[in-house]
A and B are shown apart, each in its own frame.
Chain A
Amino acid sequence: MNPKCRRLWFSLFLPLAVLSLHNEVFDEQLNIRSLPDGKVASRFSFTTVLVGASPPTPQNHSSQDDPRHYSLFPLALGQILHEYAVTEMHLTLNAGKWNYDHWGYPDEDGVGTGAELWAWMGDGAVSTVDERWRGLRNALAGLFCASLGSLDELRTTSPTMMFAPGALSNRTSTHSLRHASLPSEHVCTENLTPFLKLLPCKSLSGIATLLNPHRLFDADWHGMGLHVSWLPQQGVQVKLTFQTISDPLRPQSSSRDWSFASVFERTIQRSCPVATSSQIVVALPFGVPYTINPQPSLVDQGHAIFDVVQSGPLDVSLHWPSGFQYSTTRLAETTFSVRRTLKGYTQDNGQLSVLLRNDEDSPVNIAYLETMPWIIQLYLHTLTLEVDGVSRNDLLQNITYIPPVPHSRATLFQIVLQIPSRSTLKLTMDITKAFLRYTEHPPDAQRGWDLPPAVFVRLDGRPQRRIYAPALLVDLATPDFSMPYNVIIFTCSLIAFIFGSVFNYLTRRFIVLPVPS
Chain B
Amino acid sequence: MPPHVHPPNTALRDPSSLFYQKESNRRLIIAAYWVVLIAALPIWWKTTSIERLSLPSSRVNSQAAKQLRLPIEIALEDVSLVKHLQQELDQRREQSPLVWNGLDVTVQSKTENGSYTIVHDDNRVVASERRLTFPLRKTTVPALADTLTGLLVPRLNSHRVAHYAPRYRLAFTLLNEDAAAGDTINGWDISKAISDHLSPIFDALSVLHNFTVESQVQFHAPLAFSPRTLSEGVGLTPEDLTVFVNSAEWTLSSSVSNDPVLHFLVFVPSATRRPMYILNSQGEPTSANSFLLPQWGGIIIYNPPAEDTLQSPMRPLPPTALNTIFSKFGKQLLALLGVARLPAGVDNSHTGILTGWQLDALLRRRAFENAAEAAETLQSIVKLVNQIENMPVGQDVRGDVQDSLDALDRIYASPIKSLNATLQHSANALTLASRAFFNPGMLALLYFPTEHKFAVYMPLFASAVIPLLATAVREIAAWRRQRREAP
- Is the A/B pair a real complex? yes
Given A492-B463, A503-B467 in contact, is the A204-B214 Cβ separation under 8 Å?
no
Instruction: Tell me which of A75, A79, A271, A493 contacts B180 (CB under 8 A).
Output: A271
Contact B316 A21 (CB under 8 A): yes
A338 at the interface (CB under 8 A from B): no
Q: B205-246: which have CB < 8 Å to A? A: 210-220, 222
A72 at the interface (CB under 8 A from B): yes
A13 at the interface (CB under 8 A from B): yes
Contact A14 B315 (CB under 8 A): yes
Contact B311 A10 (CB under 8 A): yes
Q: A108-130: which have CB < 8 Å to B? A: none
Contact A488 B456 (CB under 8 A): yes
Contact B318 A512 (CB under 8 A): no
CB-nearest residue of chain A relative to B214? A68
Contact B311 A7 (CB under 8 A): yes
Binds A, one of B12-20, B342-350, B415-423: B12-20
Given A68-B213, A274-B179, A492-B459 in contact, is the A510-B315 Cβ separation under 8 Å?
no
Q: Bound state CA distance, A151 and B437, in angstroms?
A: 30
Q: A183-226: which have CB < 8 Å to B? A: 197, 200-202, 204-206
Q: Bound state CA distance, A142 and B10, in angstroms?
A: 88
- Which B residues are CB-close (under 8 A) to A74? 216
Given A274-B184, A509-B21 in contact, is the A20-B189 Cβ separation under 8 Å?
yes
Query: Closest approach, in angstroms, between the C-beta of B211 and any C-beta of chain A?
Result: 7
Binds A, one of B251-259, B293-301, B372-380, B388-396: B251-259
Contact B319 A13 (CB under 8 A): yes
Given A79-B256, A503-B33 in contact, is the A488-B459 Cβ separation under 8 Å?
yes
Query: Closest approach, in angstroms, between the C-beta of B136 and any C-beta of chain A?
Result: 44
A390 at the interface (CB under 8 A from B): no
Instruction: Tell me which of A17, A79, A142, A500 contacts B316 (CB under 8 A).
Output: A17
Residue count of chain B within 8 Å CB distance of chain A? 66
Contact A3 B307 (CB under 8 A): yes
Interface class of chain A by DSSP: helix
Contact A506 B311 (CB under 8 A): no
Given A493-B463, A507-B30 in contact, is the A75-B210 Cβ separation under 8 Å?
no
B64 at the interface (CB under 8 A from A): no
CB-nearest residue of chain A relative to B167? A64
Given A273-B180, A510-B15 in contact, is the A67-B29 Cβ separation under 8 Å?
no
A455 at the interface (CB under 8 A from B): no
Contact B307 A6 (CB under 8 A): yes
Query: Closest approach, in angstroms, between the C-beta of B254 and any C-beta of chain A?
Result: 4
Contact B256 A489 (CB under 8 A): no
- Which B residues are CB-close (under 8 A) to A200? 218-219
A469 at the interface (CB under 8 A from B): no
Contact B215 A67 (CB under 8 A): yes
Instruction: Tell me which of A79, A273, A506 contacts B314 (CB under 8 A).
Output: A273
Most A-side CB within 10 Å, residue of B6, B191, B214, B310? B214
Contact A511 B311 (CB under 8 A): no
Query: Closest approach, in angstroms, between the C-beta of A79 and any C-beta of chain B?
Result: 4
Q: Bound state CA distance, A448 and B460, in angstroms?
A: 33
- Which A residues are CB-close (under 8 A) to B319? 13
Contact A201 B180 (CB under 8 A): yes
Query: Closest approach, in angstroms, between the C-beta of B441 and any C-beta of chain A?
Result: 18
Instruction: Tell me which of B15, B220, B254, B455 contacts A205 (CB under 8 A).
Output: B220
Contact B12 A512 (CB under 8 A): yes
Instruction: Tell me which of B10, B254, B307 contacts A80 (CB under 8 A).
Output: B254
Instruction: Tell me which of B15, B308, B459, B464 contacts A512 (CB under 8 A).
Output: B15
- The proximity string for B residues 160-175 relative to A, scoring 1 for CB distances below 8 Å and 0 otherwise, is 0000000100000010
A294 at the interface (CB under 8 A from B): no
- Which B residues are CB-close (under 8 A) to A394? none
- The proximity string for A residues 61-92 relative to B, scoring 1 for CB distances below 8 Å and 0 otherwise, is 00011011111101110111011000000000
Interface range for A: 35 or more
A270 at the interface (CB under 8 A from B): yes
Query: Closest approach, in angstroms, between the C-beta of B91 and any C-beta of chain A?
Result: 47
Contact B14 A80 (CB under 8 A): no
CB-nearest residue of chain A relative to B15? A510
A272 at the interface (CB under 8 A from B): yes
Q: B309-353: which have CB < 8 Å to A? A: 310-316, 318-319
Contact B214 A69 (CB under 8 A): yes
Contact A70 B256 (CB under 8 A): no
Q: Bound state CA distance, A143 and B194, in angstroms?
A: 28
Contact B179 A75 (CB under 8 A): no
Instruction: Tell me which of B174, B219, B222, B257 contacts A274 (CB under 8 A).
Output: B219
- The proximity string for A residues 491-514 relative to B, scoring 1 for CB distances below 8 Å and 0 otherwise, is 011011001100110110111111
A326 at the interface (CB under 8 A from B): no
Contact A507 B212 (CB under 8 A): no
- Which B residues are CB-close (under 8 A) to A488? 455-456, 459-460
- Which B residues are CB-close (under 8 A) to A509? 15-16, 21, 26
- Which B residues are CB-close (under 8 A) to A500? 463-464, 467
CB-nearest residue of chain B relative to A269? B180
Query: Closest approach, in angstroms, between the C-beta of A27 and any C-beta of chain B?
Result: 15
Interface class of chain B by DSSP: mixed
A148 at the interface (CB under 8 A from B): no
CB-nearest residue of chain A relative to B456? A488
CB-nearest residue of chain B relative to A71? B217
Q: Bound state CA distance, A271 and B179, in angstroms?
A: 10
CB-nearest residue of chain B relative to A76? B254
Query: Closest approach, in angstroms, between the C-beta of A74 and any C-beta of chain B?
Result: 8
B178 at the interface (CB under 8 A from A): yes
A286 at the interface (CB under 8 A from B): no
- Which B residues are CB-close (under 8 A) to A82? 256
A345 at the interface (CB under 8 A from B): no
Given A68-B214, A492-B459 in contact, is the A202-B254 Cβ separation under 8 Å?
no
Q: Bound state CA distance, A65 and B212, in angstroms?
A: 5
A481 at the interface (CB under 8 A from B): no
Q: Bound state CA distance, A185 and B10, in angstroms?
A: 82
Contact A503 B468 (CB under 8 A): yes
B187 at the interface (CB under 8 A from A): yes
- The proximity string for A residues 443-487 relative to B, scoring 1 for CB distances below 8 Å and 0 otherwise, is 000000000000000000000000000000000000000000100
A240 at the interface (CB under 8 A from B): no
Contact A79 B214 (CB under 8 A): yes
Contact A72 B217 (CB under 8 A): yes
- Which A residues are CB-close (under 8 A) to B126? none
Q: Bound state CA distance, A7 and B311, in angstroms?
A: 7
Contact A511 B455 (CB under 8 A): no
- Which A residues are CB-close (under 8 A) to B30? 507
Contact B179 A201 (CB under 8 A): yes
Contact B210 A65 (CB under 8 A): yes
B484 at the interface (CB under 8 A from A): no
Given A13-B318, A493-B459, A503-B33 in contact, is the A75-B251 Cβ separation under 8 Å?
yes
Contact A21 B15 (CB under 8 A): no
- Which B residues are CB-close (under 8 A) to A17? 187, 189, 315-316
Contact B180 A205 (CB under 8 A): yes
Q: Bound state CA distance, A128 and B47, in angstroms?
A: 35
Q: Bound state CA distance, A67 and B190, in angstroms?
A: 10
Contact A273 B184 (CB under 8 A): yes
CB-nearest residue of chain B relative to A513? B7
- Which B residues are CB-close (under 8 A) to A272? 179-180, 219
Q: Bound state CA distance, A197 and B219, in angstroms?
A: 11
A139 at the interface (CB under 8 A from B): yes
Task: Please list 19 pairs of residues, one from A and one from B, whose beta carbons are closer than 8 Å in the complex, sorted by A's number.
Answer: A13-B319, A16-B189, A17-B315, A20-B316, A70-B215, A75-B214, A79-B255, A82-B256, A83-B256, A139-B255, A197-B251, A201-B180, A204-B178, A271-B180, A274-B184, A492-B460, A495-B460, A503-B471, A512-B12
Contacts A488-B455, A512-B10 supplied; 5 other A-B pairs, CB < 8 Å: A7-B307, A10-B308, A273-B184, A274-B314, A513-B7
* In the complex, the 10 A-B pairs of residues with the closest C-beta atoms, listed nearest first: A496-B463, A79-B254, A492-B459, A205-B180, A67-B213, A17-B316, A71-B217, A75-B216, A510-B15, A492-B460
List residues of chain B with CB under 8 Å of any chain A CB: 4, 6-7, 10, 12, 14-16, 18, 21, 26, 29-30, 33, 167, 174, 178-180, 182, 184, 186-187, 189-191, 194, 210-220, 222, 249, 251, 253-257, 307-308, 310-316, 318-319, 455-456, 459-460, 463-464, 467-468, 471
